[in-house]
Amino acid sequence: MFPSPLPRAQAVQNLRAATARGNITATGTIVGSVEAARVNLYHRSALRNSFKPHFRGHFVDTAQGCALHGRFAPPALVHAFMVFWLGFCVLGTTISVVQLGRMDPMLIPAALPGVLMAAFGIGLVRLGQHLSANDPAILSRVIRQALQSHHTEP
C-alpha cells in the first residue's frame, strides 16, 4: 500500500506524469497506464524480461487523502505459460514412466527429457527473477515520490 496525502485525482495525475506513457523506446523508465480504477506499471530496462514484476493496483480514498493498493507480480500470461509448460513436462514424464510399465534402470533416460525441460523452465523463471530483482524497489520509489509530491506537471 502506498499512502498519499493528496486527493485521488491529483495523485493519479502525479503518478501519470511520472510514467512514460506511449514512449516505446525509453529505457530505465517507468511505463504503464494510470487510471483511478486501475494502475499497471513496470520498469523498462534495456534487457527484455518477461518475468519482471509489474505493479497492478487501484486507488482508494482515505481520510488522509488516498492510497494506492496493489501487488507486484509477473504478467498473467507468463503465469499461464509456465503452468502450461510445467504441466506438459509433468504429463510427458508421467506418460513415459507409465508406458515403460516396469522400473528397469535402463529405461530411466526415457523420462529425462520431461525432467530436463521442467528444470529449464524453473531455471528460466529464476534467472528472470534475478535479473529484475531491483524492479519492485525502483517502482516503489517512483510511486512514493509521485504520491507525496504536491507539484503537478502540465
Largest CA distance in the chain: 73
Distance CA 50, CA 24 (A): 16
C-alpha cell read off for 6: 493528496
Nearest alpha-carbon partner for 72 in 56, 60, 59? 56
Strand ranges across the sheet with 29-34: 2-4, 65-73, 54-62, 39-44, 29-34
Question: What pLDDT is recorded for position 89?
Answer: 92
State the pTM of this model: 0.79
C-alpha cell read off for 37: 480504477
Cβ atoms of 54 and 75 within 8 Å: the answer is yes
Question: What pLDDT is recorded for position 102?
Answer: 64
Question: What pLDDT is recorded for position 107?
Answer: 67
Question: What pLDDT is recorded for position 73?
Answer: 93
Parallel, antiparallel, or unpaired: how do β-strands 39-44 and 29-34 relate?
antiparallel
Question: What pLDDT is recorded for position 110?
Answer: 77
* pLDDT tens sequence for the chain (154 residues): 999 999 999 999 999 888 876 555 555 688 899 998 999 999 988 888 889 999 999 999 999 999 999 999 999 999 999 999 999 999 988 888 777 666 666 667 777 888 899 999 999 999 999 999 999 999 999 999 999 876 545 5
